């Protein structure tokens, strides 16, 4: 098949640097080969830096971001336990579905789409439900382009003795994230967003308190594959007695190793600033042309921007026309379907030059469709 390269400006995957693709195509080796174990140790070390954590249990799950979500909940939540889920888009809704399937008692806080999680509502909810054990939220809602205040949410949750699960799929290595300082207990992400790696992997980290809660479980984790007490025997370094759990996706992890190396070499602070500078250029270019951003400025998520579809313009026609130019952008989801486009400036594509590229492409395409 003759595969045409695309410029990926949607909600992920984003374009992958050549050095990461080169790493992917290195010769496959065994997943218990000492060379590979060394690579895994390096991956886990780099990940601790990216998450800004000292958590011992920090590793990469062998499946996409969704398995990070699944793994967080199936381990931390037992049937009948009370979980408070802050929902402000598609992904918070999925957290609720997972918890229902576990048989948890789910309390939801629904925030208007396009707005962040409301900390005051969380405070009130936790006062009314003082038996809640877990608070979960999405730091960076990719469906709405909103960043919530993770440190405030976690502080409130901790003052009510709850453990905190945070979806950081679109924030890791794109916007400020400090797992230890903010006291987040379980944080998961995905490979294909701001890390600019190939899709299909999910970095995850567990605080000691989270691991303790898993050890205290009365019931076994329903999912064999996602049970961290089994996974730990493979991922935890130290005594080097790694046991077979499943065959790790060796080549994808070569790619992750290189993608993380790029983050470490650049530094997180520089990378966060790059994402911010790039998106500021996008806002400026599009606003100068009369286009409107959906999310209020202080709550916008740098890696993902929602732009209102102007009156008289067909959302789908523009996306199709861009794809004909080998440029992918995202459609609006849920309440924003047909009403907004989603532009990702993630990882490789978070630069002024790439922001200009996508702004030029969008504006000329709108002009030609008028
Ligand atoms: C992309 C995304 C996911 C799911 O990741 P997959 O790799 O598609 O499984 C979960 N949460 C958020 C916020 C996301 O943006």
Give 306-337 pLDDT, tens digit per residue: 999 999 999 999 999 999 999 999 999 988 99
What gap in Å lies between CA 129 and CA 133, rounded to an integer? 9
What span, in angstroms and rounded, lies between the C-alpha atoms of 240 and 38? 10
Atom of ligand 1 nearest to the CA of 66: 9
Burial class from Cβ neighbours inside 10 Å (0-12, 13-18, 19+) for residue 146 reads buried
134 & 27 share domain: yes
- Verify that 258 and 314 share a domain, yes or no: no
Q: Please tell me the distance between residue 86's alpha carbon and the centre of ligand 1 in angstroms.
A: 16
Q: Is 84 part of any domain? A: yes
Q: How far is the CA of 363 from the centre of ligand 1 (A)?
A: 28
Whether 92 maps to a domain, the answer reads yes
Both 39 and 68 in one domain: the answer is: yes
Structure tokens belonging to residue 142: 């990719």
pLDDT band at 238 (very low <50, low <70, confident <90, very high): low
Distance CA(19)–CA(367), nearest Å, equals: 37
What is the residue with the minimal CA distance to atom 3 of ligand 1? 65
Choice from 10, 61, 62, 64 to test ligand 1 binding pocket (greatest atom count within 8 A of CB): 64
179-to-139, 142, 334 alpha-carbon distances in Å: 11, 19, 30
Ligand 1 centroid to residue 169 C-alpha, Å: 6
CA 302 to centroid of ligand 1, rounded, Å: 16
What residue ranges line ligand 1, CB within 6 angstroms?
A: 12, 64-66, 69, 91, 138, 140, 142, 167, 169-170, 190
Tell me, what CATH number does 308's domain have?
A: 3.90.1150.10
Is 37 buried (19+), middle (13-18) or exposed (0-12) by CB count in 10 A?
middle
Closest CA to ligand 1's atom 12? 169
DSSP state of 310: P
Contact 164, 153 (CB under 8 A): yes
Three-state secondary-structure class, residue 61: strand
Question: What interhelical angle do 250-266 and 268-288 show, nearest 10?
Answer: 80
The proportion of the chain whose per-residue pLDDT surpasses 90, expressed as a percent, equals 94
Among candidates 125, 131, 59, 133, which has minimal Cα distance to 86?
125
The answer to whether residue 237 scores a pLDDT higher than 70 is no
Note whether 204 and 141 are same-domain residues: yes
- For residues 193 and 276, state if they share a domain: no
Q: Kindly state whether residues 217 and 74 are assigned to the same domain.
A: yes
Q: Is residue 349 part of a domain?
A: yes
Q: What percent of the chain is modeled with pLDDT above 70?
A: 98
Q: Which residues pair with 344 in a beta bridge?
A: 304
Query: Region 114-134: what's the mean pLDDT?
Result: 98
Interatomic CA distance for residues 216 and 237, integer angstroms: 23
Give 206's strand partners: 57, 186
Boundary residue ending a domain (214, 241, 264): 264
In this structure, which residue's CA is closest to atom 6 in ligand 1? 65
Question: In angstroms, rounded to a whole number, what is the distance separating the alpha carbons of residues 86 and 238?
Answer: 37
Residue 1 lies in a domain: no
Evaluate whether residue 192 is within a structural domain.
yes
Atom of ligand 1 nearest to the CA of 200: 7
Q: Please identify, among 264, 289, 312, the residue that sits at the C-terminal boundary of a domain.
A: 264
**Average pLDDT score over the chain:** 96
Confidence label for 347 from pLDDT (cuts 50, 70 and 90): very high
Banded model confidence at residue 1, pLDDT cuts 50, 70, 90: confident
Q: Are the CB atoms for 321 and 365 separated by under 8 Å?
A: yes
Q: Within this chain, do residues 274 and 259 fall inside the same structural domain, yes or no?
A: no
Nearest residue (CA) to ligand 1, atom 8: 65
Q: Using one digit for the tens of pLDDT, what is the confidence trace for 6-60?
A: 999 999 999 999 999 999 999 999 999 999 999 999 999 999 999 999 999 999 9
The string of pLDDT tens digits covering residues 206-218 is: 999 999 999 999 9
Whether residues 200 and 338 fall in one domain: no
**Do 255 and 276 belong together in one domain?**
no
pLDDT in tens, 138-148: 999 999 999 99
Q: What is the CATH number of the domain that holds 26?
A: 3.40.640.10
Q: Which residue has the tokens 């962040």?
A: 116
User: How far is ligand 1, taken at its centre, from the CA of residue 65, in Å?
Assistant: 5
Q: Whose CA is nearest to atom 15 of ligand 1?
A: 142
Q: Is there a domain that residue 235 lies in?
A: yes
Look at residues 195, 248, 223, 259 and name the one whose alpha carbon lies nearest to residue 60.
248
Residue 222 sits in which domain range? 18-264
- pLDDT category at 340 given cuts 50, 70, 90 is very high
Of 180, 163, 205, residue with least CA distance to 71: 205
The number of distinct structural domains making up the chain is 2
Is residue 331 assigned to a domain?
yes
Asked which of 229, 246, 264 is the last residue of a domain, the reply is 264
Domain contains 2: no
Q: Which of 191, 190, 193, 189 is nearest to 179 (CA)?
A: 189
d(CA 199, CA 227): 22
- 301 and 193 inside one domain: no
Quick one: 259 and 296 in the same domain? Answer: no
Q: Both 326 and 209 in a single domain? A: no
Give the number of the atom of ligand 1 that is nearest the alpha carbon of residue 193: 1
- Out of 63, 65, 146, 202, mutate this one to test ligand 1's pocket (max ligand atoms within 8 Å of CB): namely 65
Cβ pair 232, 170 in contact under 8 A: no
């Amino acid at each position: 098949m003759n595969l045409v390269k695309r410029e990926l400006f949607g909600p992920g995957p984003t374009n992958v640097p050549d050095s990461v693709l080169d790493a992917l195509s290195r010769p496959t080796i065994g997943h218990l080969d000492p060379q590979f174990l060394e690579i895994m140790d390096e991956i886990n070390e780099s990940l601790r830096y990216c998450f800004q954590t000292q958590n011992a249990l920090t590793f990469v799950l062998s499946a996409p971001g969704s398995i990070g979500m699944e793994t967080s909940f199936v381990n931390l939540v037992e049937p009948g336990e009370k979980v408070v889920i802050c929902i402000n888009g598609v992904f918070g809704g999925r957290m609720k579905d997972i918890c229902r399937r576990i048989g948890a008692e789910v309390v939801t806080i629904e925030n208007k789409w396009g707005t962040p999680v409301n900390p005051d509502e969380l405070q009130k909810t936790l006062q009314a439900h003082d038996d809640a054990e877990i608070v979960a939220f999405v730091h960076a809602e990719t469906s709405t382009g909103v960043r919530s205040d993770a440190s405030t949410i976690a502080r409130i949750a901790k003052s009510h003795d709850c453990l905190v699960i945070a979806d950081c799929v679109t924030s890791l290595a794109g916007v400020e994230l400090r797992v230890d300082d903010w006291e987040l207990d379980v944080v998961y992400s995905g490979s294909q967003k701001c890390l600019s790696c190939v899709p299909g992997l999910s970095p995850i980290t567990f605080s000691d308190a989270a691991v303790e809660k898993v050890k205290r479980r009365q019931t076994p984790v329903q999912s064999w594959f996602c049970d961290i007490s089994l996974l730990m025997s493979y991922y935890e370094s130290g005594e080097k007695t790694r046991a077979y759990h499943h065959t790790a996706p060796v080549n994808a992890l070569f790619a992750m190793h290189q993608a993380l190396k790029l983050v470490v070499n650049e530094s997180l602070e520089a990378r966060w600033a790059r994402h911010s500078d790039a998106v500021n250029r996008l806002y400026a270019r599009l606003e100068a042309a009369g286009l409107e951003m959906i999310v209020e400025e202080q709550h916008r998520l740098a890696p993902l921007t929602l732009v209102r579809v102007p009156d008289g313009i067909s959302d789908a026609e523009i996306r199709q026309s861009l794809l004909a130019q080998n440029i992918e952008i995202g459609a609006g989801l849920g309440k924003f379907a047909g009403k907004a486009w989603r532009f990702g400036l993630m990882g490789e594509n978070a630069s002024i030059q790439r922001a200009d590229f996508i702004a030029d492409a969008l504006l000329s395409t709108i002009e030609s469709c008028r």
